[in-house]
A = this chain, B = another copy of it.
Amino acid sequence: MTTTMHMVASTAQPAMTSQNKCAVCSFKKLCLPLGLDEADVGRLDKIIGRRRRVARDENLYRMDQPFTSLYAVRFGHFKTAQVNPDGKQQITGFQMAGDLLGMDAIGAGRHACAAVALEDSEVCEIPFARLQELFGQVPQLLQHFHRIMSQEIMREQNVMLFLGNMRAEQRFAVFLLNLSARYAARGYSPSNFQLRMSREDIGDYLGLTIESISRLLSKFRKAGWISIDNRELAILDRPSLEALSTGVAAAQRNNVVEIRQAVAA
Binding site for B on A (CB under 8 A): 82, 84-90, 92, 103-108, 112-113, 132, 135-136, 139, 142-143, 146-154, 156-157, 159-161, 163-166, 204-207, 246-248, 250-251, 254
A150 to B151, CA, bound (A): 12
Which B residues are in CB contact (< 8 Å) with A136?
136, 139
Known contacts A142-B135, A143-B132, A160-B92; A86/B153 CB under 8 A: no
Contact A166 B84 (CB under 8 A): yes
User: Shortest CB–CB separation between residue A189 and chain B, in angstroms?
Assistant: 26
Q: Please indicate the chain B residues that have their CB under 8 angstroms from the CB of A106 in the complex.
A: 146-147, 149-150
Cα distance A164–B210 when bound, in Å? Answer: 13
| A153 and B103 contact, Cβ closer than 8 Å, known pairs A161-B90, A166-B84 | yes
Q: Nearest-CB distance from A234 to chain B (Å)? A: 25
Q: Which of chain B's residues has its CB closest to A84's CB? A: B161
Alpha-carbon distance A64/B51, docked complex (angstroms): 39
- Contact A104–B164 (Cβ < 8 Å): no
A156 proximity list for chain B (CB < 8 A) = 153, 156-157, 160
Copies of the polypeptide in the assembly: 2
A64 CB to closest chain B CB, in angstroms?
13
What's the Cα separation between A211 and B161 when bound, in Å? 20
Provide the residues of chain B in CB contact with A150, threshold 8 Å. Answer: 103-108, 149
Instruction: Give A195 Cβ to nearest chain B Cβ, in Å.
Output: 19
Contacts of A103 in B (CB 8 A): 149-150, 153
The complex places the Cα of A160 from the Cα of B62 at a distance, in Å, of 19
B165 touching A90 by the CB < 8 A rule? yes
Report which residue of A143, A164, A246, A248 has the largest number of chain B beta carbons within 10 angstroms of its beta carbon: A164
Tell me the nearest residue of chain B to A207, going by C-beta. B164
Q: Is A92's CB under 8 angstroms from B247's CB?
A: no
- Whole-angstrom CA separation of A52 from B166 in the bound complex: 35
Which of A89, A146, A254 is most buried by chain B, counting CB atoms within 10 A of its CB? A146
| The 5 nearest A-B residue pairs measured at CB | A86-B247, A107-B150, A106-B150, A163-B163, A164-B207
**Identity of the chain B residue whose Cβ is nearest the Cβ of A247 in the assembled complex:** B86
Task: Determine the chain B residues whose CB is within 8 A of the CB of A135 once the complex forms.
Answer: 135, 142
Q: How far is the CA of A105 from the CA of B147 in the complex (A)?
A: 9
Residues of B within 8 A of A88 (CB): 165
Residue numbers in B under 8 Å from A149 (CB-CB): 103, 106-107, 146, 149-150, 153
